[in-house]
Copies of this chain bind each other. A is one copy, B any other.
Amino acid sequence: MSKITPVILCGGSGTRLWPRSRADKPKPFLPLVGESTLFEATLRRCAGTDRFTPPIVVTGAKHLEHVEAQLGAGESGAQAAVIVEPAARNTAAAIALAALRLPEDAVMLVCPSDHHIADSAAFTAAALAAAELAAQDWLVSFGIEAKTPETGFGYLKRGAPIAGCGTAGPGSQVAQFVEKPDLARAEQFLASGDYAWNGGIFAFRAGFFLSELARHRPEIAAAARAAVAGGHAEGRRFHPDAKVFADIKSESVDYAVMENTARAAMVPADMGWSDIGNWEALHAARPHDAAGNHVSGPAELVDCRNVLVDSDGPRVSAIGLENVMIVVDKGEILVTTASGAQLVGKLHGAANQ
């Protein structure tokens, strides 16, 4: 089998994990779980086997500094390519840029850079299985094993098994892409066992992805092709034509391609995945003491349960709290319940950066 090229999508608005995450240094570039940043951990995960080539990172100009600082000095980082998006145009366009910079037969593994995956070996296994299907011209989503009735994720309904997908693991067609459900439906999905979370991790053969994009969204495909044709390289950076790129329609790859193609497949992935989508999710991904508390920075907790304290300096003294997250960062203090964590992005401080 040919090698797999990680395509790492790197961006973010820095609102949902505000005030730690900010517009000028969003989630991927912060050490939110452990000592590595989520971006660094993504790079490392995609260098976990000799089946991976050095990555292509797709990012915006405003994050380029963080990307290049964190690519690191290792072989994979030194050989990484960076595509600098002139504007944020969602995942369909971003993936198209990377596909256009690769040989047609290259297999791309598209990874967000702001997720946490506890089990790297399970990730690698799923990636190899997905790559094998992608090489057979399936457009493959990771079907992340649903653990709870989440209403914040899209779901994949498992369809017919795909025969002959080799030794790397089971694969199946996607019977249906389901947008974020309400709680009752999410509970049905979980109980049925037929649904997996759509984690936004994909494997595609570059040429087949581009042909399917051209079939379902010809204007995005054409504009991306023109932006690459009119672009220029600068060392390892590639700059698509800014004017052409700015006119591309902003659509997710799910909406533009995956929901329309007849070749949608999925591979199961049970790998301790979290999108770290808000402070509650981040709290869940971090280690806890016996009372379910997690502390980063100076703090004293008295009679607290399931409390997160994350302070960049000031001491936090907390008494009697349950299911509360307290975050202190550069003069901003957030105190939210676990259920309130979904509203953080709407706060003045987060929304008006």
Near B by CB (< 8 A), chain A positions 302-353 give 302-303, 311, 313-321, 324, 326, 328, 331-337, 339-341, 343-344, 346-350
Interface size class of A (residues with CB under 8 A): 20 to 34
Q: Across the interface, do A340 and B303 meet the contact criterion of CB distance under 8 Å? A: yes
Residues of B within 8 A of A318 (CB): 334-336
Q: Across the interface, do B347 and A334 meet the contact criterion of CB distance under 8 Å? A: no
Q: Across the interface, do A333 and B333 meet the contact criterion of CB distance under 8 Å? A: yes
In the bound complex, how far is the Cα of B323 from the Cα of A320, in angstroms? 11
A302 and B347 contact, Cβ closer than 8 Å, known pairs A315-B331, A315-B332: yes
A300 interface residue, CB < 8 Å from B? yes
Q: Across the interface, do B324 and A335 meet the contact criterion of CB distance under 8 Å? A: yes
A302: nearest chain-B partner, CB-CB? B343
Residues of B within 8 A of A324 (CB): 321, 324, 335
A300 and B348 contact, Cβ closer than 8 Å, known pairs A331-B314, A341-B319, A343-B319: yes
In the bound complex, how far is the Cα of B333 from the Cα of A196, in angstroms? 41
Q: Across the interface, do B313 and A333 meet the contact criterion of CB distance under 8 Å? A: no
A335 and B314 contact, Cβ closer than 8 Å, known pairs A300-B348, A302-B340, A303-B340: no
Q: Across the interface, do A314 and B340 meet the contact criterion of CB distance under 8 Å? A: no
In the bound complex, how far is the Cα of B311 from the Cα of A318, in angstroms? 16
List chain A positions with a Cβ less than 8 A from chain B.
Answer: 19, 300, 302-303, 311, 313-321, 324, 326, 328, 331-337, 339-341, 343-344, 346-350
Closest 9 CB pairs of A and B: A320-B340, A319-B340, A320-B337, A319-B336, A314-B331, A316-B333, A318-B335, A317-B347, A317-B334
Supply 13 A–B pairs (Cβ within 8 Å), ascending by A.
A19-B317, A302-B343, A303-B343, A314-B333, A315-B331, A316-B335, A317-B336, A319-B341, A319-B343, A321-B337, A321-B340, A324-B324, A326-B333
Q: A302-B346, A315-B332 are in contact. List 17 more A-B contacts (CB 8 A).
A: A19-B317, A302-B340, A302-B347, A303-B340, A314-B331, A315-B333, A316-B333, A316-B335, A317-B333, A318-B334, A319-B334, A319-B343, A319-B344, A320-B339, A326-B333, A326-B335, A335-B335
